[in-house]
Amino acid sequence: MPLFLFIVVKVQNILDILQEIAPLDLAQSWDNVGLLVGSPDGRVTSILLALDPTTALIAEAKRCNAELVITHHPAIFHPLKSLRSDRPSEKFLHAAVQAGIHLIGCHTNLDAAYGGVNDVLAQLLNLKETAPLLPDGGECSGKKTGLGRIGMLTEPVSAESFLEQLSTVLSPPWLLEAGSRPEKVRKVAVCGGSCSDVSETALAAGADVFITAEIKHDVARWAEEAGLWLIDGGHFATEYPAMEGLRQLLVERLKASDMGVQVQCARQKPPLRLVAGKSC
C-alpha cells in the first residue's frame, strides 16, 4: 500500500511565509503586526483573510473552519486595559479567544511590500514602470519597497476616462476630488488608505493625479493652489483588492511547500455609505 505523508502546518509556518511576502521590518514603527492572538504552535488547515477585524469575521471563520484569521488592519492597535465582550473595541478579540482562533496582523508591512497593497492598486490601473512613492531603501523579492507607488499609463487618457477606469476597478461607494483635472493623465501616483500627507511627494514626483483616501481639508485646499489633481477613493476601496492579492501569494507559496491549507477571502463591505435622498 502507498504511504501518504501529511504535512502538519502550524501558525509558525504561515508566519514564515508571510515574512517572505511582507517582512515585519517593513512595518512602520508605530504599527502592530505579526501574531497578535494565539500560539505559533497552533495547527492550521484553513485561513481566512480580511481587511478589517469584525465580530462578523469571527462568525465567518467558524463557518469555514478557519483556525487562523489574517487581517490587514491589526486587531490590537492601541494598548488594552481589559478584554470584555460588552465593549465594541474588544468584542472581536474576545470572540476570537473564545473560539480558539489565531490572529495575525499584516498592515504597513503589506503596504510597503512588493506585491502588496499599493502594487495591487497600481496593477488594477495598469501602471507600468512603477516604483515606490516613498522608498524605504529595502528590497522584497528583489524589488524596491516603500509606501505608495508611482507609474505610467501606456497611453495618456482624459481625466474623464481615467475616472471611469478607477470606478470600474475599485467599485468605490464614492469618489471625491480636489484640485484641477489635467487635460491628460499619464503619470499616476497611488497610496492605498490614509495617505494625503504624501501629496507633496506625489506632486514633486511629477504625478498628474494622486489616488489615496481620507484626504484632509487643508490638503485639499493645498491641491487647489499647487495644481495637483487629488482623488479620494475611500480607505476601504483602495485597500480591499489587496486581500485577493495576498490570498494568491499565500496559495502559491503553500503549494510550493506542499502545504495543504485552504485560503479564503472574507467578503466585507465598506463601513461608510452614501446617504440616499435630498441633501439639507
The string of pLDDT tens digits covering residues 212-241 is 999 999 999 999 999 999 999 999 999 999
pLDDT at position 139 is 86
> Can you tell me the mean pLDDT for 188-207?
97
Three-class secondary structure of residue 30 per DSSP: coil
Q: How many domains does the chain have?
A: 2
Same domain, 53 and 168: no
Q: Is residue 273 part of a domain?
A: no
Residue 3's pLDDT band (cuts 50, 70, 90): very low
Same domain, yes or no: 136 and 208: yes
pLDDT of residue 275: 85
Domain of residue 171: give its range: 111-238
86 and 123, same structural domain?
A: no
Per-residue pLDDT, 246: 98
**Dihedral over Cα of 82, 83, 85, 89: its sign:** positive
Question: Helix crossing, 55-63 with 88-99: angle to 10°?
Answer: 20
Note the pLDDT of residue 110: 98
Q: What percent of the chain has pLDDT over 90?
A: 91
| SS3 (DSSP) at 149 | strand
**Residues 71/51, Cβ–Cβ less than 8 Å:** yes
Enclosing H/E stretch for 264: strand 262-265
Instruction: Indicate whether 66 pLDDT > 60.
Output: yes
Closest to 47 (Cα-Cα) out of 101, 96, 98, 100:
101
Residues 215 and 244 reside in one and the same domain? no
What digits encode the pLDDT tens for the residues 122-146? 999 999 999 999 999 988 878 899 9
- The cell 480636489 sits on which residue? 178
Residues 158 and 127 in one domain: yes
Grid cell 487647489 in the structure block, residue: 224
Q: Which residue has the higher pLDDT, 89 or 192?
A: 192
The CATH number for 28's domain is 3.40.1390.30
pLDDT at 277: 57
Please check whether residue 231 is in contact with residue 166, taking contact to mean a CB–CB distance below 8 angstroms: yes
Same domain, 231 and 122: yes
Domain annotation covers residue 276: no
Closest CA to 234 of 215, 211, 213: 213
Are residues 130 and 229 part of one domain?
A: yes
Q: Is 235 annotated as a binding residue?
A: yes
Residues 116 and 232 both lie in one domain = yes
Render the burial of 202-225: b for 16+ CB within 10 Å, e for the rest.
bbebebbbbbbbebeeebbebbee
| Average pLDDT score over the chain | 95
| Percent of the residues in the chain that have a pLDDT greater than 70, as a whole number | 96
Q: Is 217 annotated as a binding residue?
A: no
Q: Is the pTM of this model over 0.85?
A: yes
Domain assignment present for 278: no
C-alpha cell at 17: 511565509
232, 206 contact by CB (below 8 A): no
**What pLDDT does 7 receive?**
83
Q: Is 78 annotated as a binding residue?
A: no
143/256 same-domain check = no
Q: SS3 for 16? A: helix
| Residue whose cell numbers read 470572540 | 95
Length of the chain: 280
* Domain co-membership, 105 together with 118: no
Q: With cut-offs at 50, 70 and 90, classify the pLDDT of residue 98.
A: very high
pLDDT surpasses 80 at 93 = yes
pLDDT at 27 over 90: yes
With respect to residue 1, please indicate whether it lies within any of the assigned structural domains: no
The answer as to whether 280 is a domain residue is no
Q: Any idea which residue has 500560539 for its cell?
A: 39
pLDDT for the residue 280: 45
What confidence score (pLDDT) does residue 17 get? Answer: 98
